[in-house]
Structure 1
Amino acid sequence: MTKTKILIPLDGTDRSMHSLDLLKKMFKSDEVEVTLMNISEIVIVNDMVITDKVDRARETGEFVLNRGEKELQGYTVNKFFDFGYAGDEILKKASQDNFDIIIMTKSTKKGLARMVGSVTSKVVKNSPKIVIIVPE
């Protein structure tokens, strides 16, 4: 039996972790192969990336991914961290690795920032994959 490949982007907020709860409710551990993904945006100044900021971003990303992995004990879990724009990187990863489903939360921001733009909205509009949105 082929396992369903599921991509779950996590940004470290408690809201984003709700995707893991939904996964556990919908799928048994032997039915899926899960990839947890964390993307960090790094601002480049004068074509230079500050090494300290890169190291801290990587450490934070690893912390987020390890936290998610602990929540999914018993599941086959892969972890992926990269730098870039979250929406673009999620779409690229889903396509390159041929995921069947993307599970994400509706929004991890409140107020004006949520109304202006949304990574989730970009993924839903541009992904040919099934995208499951977890309400807040």
Structure 2
Amino acid sequence: MNNKKKILVPLDGTERSMHSIDWLKNFFKEDEVDITLMNVIEIVLGNDKIELDQRYYSEKASKEILDKAEDKLHGYKIAKYHTFGYAADKILKKAELDKFDIIVMTKSTKRGLDRMIGSVTNKVVRNAGTLVAIIPE
């Protein structure tokens, strides 16, 4: 029986979001977790269509984000996943479908009470059916 924790790590490509990886490495050994790195590509539609070039470059950027994170987690079992859509909705759906034990995210750097942890993180915390760890910078 697999006793490893399943961890979902949504990343947006910022250095701030990479702090989740540092936290993971400090708290979990390689043999304790299976990690899925996730990037959601949010594309603004123009006239209800996505330009092919925009989609290609967005997918390429997403792959680079996930590859960079994977490099930082050398020795850990990693899966990478990217998708298109609204970040919070896609994170919640992935967490529910794949039955993750923990979602690890970083807080927002925006100011103000309403943006203390960020709108995506806030929605995930409020709606997740699992533990959500919010990592400070």
Same fold (TM over 0.5): yes
Output the TM-score relative to the length of structure 2: 0.92
Q: CA RMSD in A?
A: 1.5
Tell me how far 1:93 sits from its aligned partner: 0.3
Partners of 2:119 and 2:49 in 1: how far apart? 27
Q: How many residues align?
A: 134
Secondary structure, counterpart of 2:54 in structure 1? helix
Distance 2:115 2:34 in 1: 33
- Structure 1 residue 111 displacement after superposition: 4.2
Compute the displacement of 1:115 (Å).
2.7
Measure the CA separation in 2 of the matches of 1:23 and 1:115: 24
- Unmatched segments (≥5 aa) in structure 2: none
**Where does residue 3 of structure 1 map in the other structure?**
4
Structure-1 separation of matches of 2:120 and 2:61: 19
* Separation (CA, whole Å) in 1 of partners of 2:34 and 2:78: 6
Q: Deviations over 1:56-91 (max 9, x none)?
A: 100000000000000000000000000000000000
| Residue 54 (structure 1) aligns with | 55
Percent of aligned pairs sharing the same letter: 52
CA distance in 2, matches of 1:99, 1:127: 10
State the TM-score, normalizing by the size of structure 1: 0.93
Aligned to 2:37: 36
Q: Does 1:126 align with 2:135?
A: no
Unaligned runs of 5+ in 1: none
